Amino acid sequence: MFKTKILDNVNFTTTIDFLSLDVEGHELETLKGIDLNKYSFKFLFLKIYFLGISILTLFRVSFLIKYGLFSGGKKFRPYLIINSGEIFGLNYRELIKVAAAVECIHSYSLIHDDLPSMDNDDFRRGKLSVHKAFGESTAILAGNSLLTLAFEILTSSSMRSSSKIKSDLVHALASASGYYGIAGGQFLDLRFEKKKVTKDLIINMQNKKTGELISFCLESSAILSGKERERSFLKKVGLDIGLIRI
């Protein structure tokens, strides 16, 4: 049985520059029952910068982000990152940070997909979608915050990787999230609505909307381990998995 338990021990620390949410004991029990909580660590998961914004507003923003981010699901993408990383003998602490960034991107895309101007869905994973619970403008901002948070995680000082590896991770994830990936796939999905399209066009749409982010999950292990020659192969495997999940 799959379950997720998050934020066991939460400590809010305010400084003159930022409000940080430290998460200790972050648990993700993935497919096959792998308990990631057996690894003891503490890392900066949310750091929300503010300039003259009240603490109450910050708490509300962080709550909205948590509502969209920790909304259930199988955590399939983190599962791929952790397990592909084990093939290369990578450090779990680095892998879970990449997994957190990917979950931010995935959750942002779901929040925006549910909007009235997109798929217009009232529910997501058994509860009200973010725009139904908190309003459309708030949902847009929550999605935007998650999108940018992903890249803050990858470029933070808590990531022990070299500048080149961080740069490669950011470039690959940005590509998987933008026009060549999630955003482009959603554009095609909306464009093809109620139209008869060819199989090739549907596969292209699915590769963008789902496959590219899954490809990044596998490719990220090759980037972290410096295995350049394996990157294209792992990307192809990810695209194939994305088509299986249609």
Tokens of 128: 């009200």
- Asked if 82 and 217 count as a contact pair (C-beta separation under 8 A), the reply is no
Residue 123: the pLDDT is: 83
Residue 15: the pLDDT is: 26
- Asked if 30 and 79 count as a contact pair (C-beta separation under 8 A), the reply is yes
Residue 214: the pLDDT is: 96
Of the candidates 188, 181, 183, the residue with the CA atom closest to the CA atom of residue 207: 181
Residue 190: the pLDDT is: 86
Buried b (16+ CB within 10 A) or exposed e, 49-63: eeeeeeeeebeebbe
pTM of the model: 0.72
| Burial category of 100 from C-beta neighbours within 10 Å (exposed 0-12, middle 13-18, buried 19 and up) | buried
Residue 114: the pLDDT is: 85
Tokens of 43: 């890392």
| Burial category of 80 from C-beta neighbours within 10 Å (exposed 0-12, middle 13-18, buried 19 and up) | buried
- Asked if 190 and 197 count as a contact pair (C-beta separation under 8 A), the reply is no
Residue 70: the pLDDT is: 67
Averaged in consecutive runs of 10 residues, what is the pLDDT profile of the chain (246 residues)? 34 29 32 35 33 45 70 82 94 92 91 84 80 83 89 91 95 94 89 88 91 96 94 94 78
Residue 82: the pLDDT is: 94
Residue 154: the pLDDT is: 94
